[in-house]
Amino acid sequence: MFASVVDGACEGSGVSGPILIPRRFVWPYGGTTVFLTGSFTRWSNHIAMSPMEGCPAVFQVVCNLMPGFHQYKFNVDGEWRHDDQQPFVNGSCGVVNTIYIVREPDILPSILNTETPGRSHMEVDNMEANPRMPVSDLEVSRHRISVFLSTHTAYNLLPESGKVIALDINLPVKQAFHVLYEQGVSMAPLWDFFKSQFVGVLSAMDFILILKELGNHGSNLTQEQLETHTIAAWKEGKFQQFRTLDSNGGSYPWRFVHAGPHECLKDVALKVLQNKVSTVPIIHSSSEDGSYPQLLHLASLSGILKGICRHFKHSLSSLPILQLPVASIPLGTWMPRVGEPNGRPLAMLMPSASLGAALSMFVQAKVSSIPIVDANDSLLDIYSRSDITALAKDKAYARISLDEISIHQALLLGQDATSPSGIYNGQRCHMCLRSESLYKVMERLANPGVRRLVVVEAGSKRVEGIISLSDVFRFLLG
Amino acid sequence: MSNSHSENHDEVTVAGFEVPKSPDSSYNNVYPGNEDEARDPPMVPSHLQHTLLNYPANRDTAGTVPLPQNVILNHLYIENRESPRSVVALGFTHRFHSKYVTVVLYKPVQRRGNTSI
């Protein structure tokens, strides 16, 4: 009744056209005569499916498809049917199966063993279906998030009424950290009065490097000089040091990363990730030469993530990748399993370790926080780079030696220093389970001050991994 | 008949529409004394006290402060501290499109000793 198309003709159409991806279609529910039709045949051509050798109930055919979305249906002995074990939708053409072809060609499975055809066939189908779903879901989710980030600007990150702290570059470094501590912030843009420009950012990492410099016996910097050593002098010395490191390919040169209020959020997020900074000052200049700059905001990944969560809160079904548990996604830093190679081990410390060891780990391992665990690797607390500003309380940094104070003592000092107006005052460790969905993790990371979640085992709180804001964005932006 | 007409004219004045007498107190107010004129006006309007500079800008609140009153916009504030410090804070609140931004810049105080030397 139906005009059948030879498989060779379908194969031949891929010779001169764009790159096509071979795809095998299977009808495992029996029949006498089975045809395949779909959007890739304009729903008019019907491709005859051949029964598998030794398995008369299973029909199959291989077609070359363009990358993208496709719909298809089966005609079994004159009756239209769909495979309800595969993805399907109820559309204008009735119930049809759907498939999303990615650019990479699929590896065709080998011919099934004829000894146990039914069982092997089902296993192959399951293996095919499961890995494919995350790939297509990931592409859909990334595309939608990319569209959202490209159509919203940094201006959307500004609160209705915001406040931002800036420091003059001629301010002594010591006074600068007192200001950061008093204001409860961990970084501030730097203003050059003579250039009338913002020229950089002072952050907790600078304070860590200064303390390590003071700790070196051969250091040129003394306690007395700390009183008068300006931010400009410190930054210049750091720049020289990084220039030396950069020739060795070890580090990034110091330069000012900023964005304008009309730049899209995707560009702001990429600036954060590519330059390995935690905030990007939003600076606006009404003139074209960039003079008379206005500081508007300090943009961070948590602000952008809050916008994403708010936007997709009521349409989570359009982002299928967000429903998956975080353990099934290549995201974050995890404890290495037995026999599994891990390129980047998870850095942890005991509470009795010295503060100097933590600061060295911040600098060398290039991490921003360290889980503090007990002998069983159970999570007790977390020490972050921004916690270093607590040493400004009562000038603690002048009275202690980095190798003589323990992390436990430093954390006690930090608890007293917590801002009383902080919303998350009572909770310093932010944890999650490996079975929690990516969206739940994103919602919690969107809270200001929460930069990372430690993945722990339920009950024992044994550390299994850590997921940071930059991990999530690197995963979503692809 | 003429008497009747005169009587009708008198009756037209309804009780509720009589013109009231002026109160005596209207004409007995005393002139203001010289005390008010001797007092100096305030240095600045009192509503400029409602600044946003005292609100914390820490990361827990994501740098959010209450909406400012219009009168404090585009004014430069200098921190007033009892004890002398080597750092001074300059505050400025302005409007950017439909949002408000408060910037606080910390600058070193020029030492007079250095100047005299």
> Which domains are seen in chain B, by residue range?
71-111 (2.20.25.290)
> What count of other Cβ atoms lies within 10 Å of the Cβ of residue B67?
10
Please tell me which residue of chain B has the smallest CA distance to A279. Answer: B59
Residues of chain A with pLDDT under 50: 1-17, 105-133, 218, 244-253, 417-426
pLDDT digits (tens, 9 = 90+) for A127-136: 333 443 467 7
Give the nearest partner residue to A164 out of B60, B86, B103, using CB atoms. B103
pLDDT of residue A57: 84
Chain A residue numbers with beta carbons less than 8 Å from the beta carbon of B104 are 163-166, 183
A270-301 exposure pattern, b = at least 16 Cβ within 10 A, e = fewer = ebbeeeebbbbbbbbeeeeeeeebbbbbbbbb
Which of B59, B65, B92 should be substituted to probe chain A, the one whose Cβ sees the most A Cβ atoms within 10 Å? B59
Q: A-chain residues within 8 Å CB-CB of B86?
A: 172, 175
Count of beta carbons in the 10 Å neighbourhood of residue B65: 21
Q: B84 and chain A: CB distance < 8 Å anywhere?
A: no
Q: Give the per-residue pLDDT at A18.
A: 58
Nearest CA to A107 among A87, A86, A132, A84? Answer: A132
Spatial separation of the C-alpha atoms in residues A88 and A99, rounded to whole Å: 8
Mean pLDDT for all residues in chain B: 74
Note the pLDDT of residue A450: 84
Q: Is residue A72 helix, strand or coil?
A: strand
Q: Is B110 on the interface with A (CB under 8 A)?
A: no
pLDDT of residue A102: 67
Q: Which residues pair with A57 in a beta bridge?
A: none
DSSP states along A116-170:
SHHHHHHHHHHHHHHHHHHHHHHHHHHHHHHHHHHTSBGGGGS-SEEEEEEEETT
Question: Do β-strands A431-432 and A452-456 pair in parallel, antiparallel, or remain unpaired?
Answer: parallel
CATH, range A155-243+253-303:
3.10.580.10
Query: How does pLDDT run across B55-80, given as a tens digit for each residue?
Result: 776 555 557 888 888 888 999 988 87
Q: What is the DSSP letter of A325?
A: B
Closest CA to B71 of B55, B98, B50: B50
Distance CA B1, CA A82 (A): 112
Q: Would you report the helix, strand and coil content of chain B in percent, each value rounded to 5? A: 30, 20, 45
Residue of chain A whose Cα is closest to the Cα of B91: A165
- Residue with the bigger pLDDT between B81 and A243: it is B81
CA distance A7 to A11: 6
Task: Tell me the pairing of strands A187-192 and A161-168.
Answer: parallel
pLDDT at B114 over 60: no
B65/A162 CB distance under 8 A: yes
Residue spans per domain, chain A: 21-101, 155-243+253-303
- Taking an 8 Å cut-off on Cβ atoms, the answer to whether B60 and A159 are in contact is no
Write down the residue that tokens 């104070």 correspond to: A405
User: What is the pLDDT at residue A442?
Assistant: 92
B17 to chain A nearest CA, in Å?
58
Looking at the domain that runs over A21-101, which CATH code has it been given?
2.60.40.10
**pLDDT at position A146:** 93
Q: What is the pLDDT of residue A298?
A: 92
Give the pLDDT score at A297: 92
Give the strand order in the sheet containing A21-27: A21-27, A55-65, A50-52
- Residue of A153, A158, A161 for testing the chain B interface, max B β-carbons within 10 Å: A161
Residue A157's pLDDT is 92
Decide if A294 and B99 are in contact by the 8 Å CB cutoff: no
The per-residue pLDDT for B105 is: 93
Nearest-angstrom CA–CA distance, A219 and A212: 9
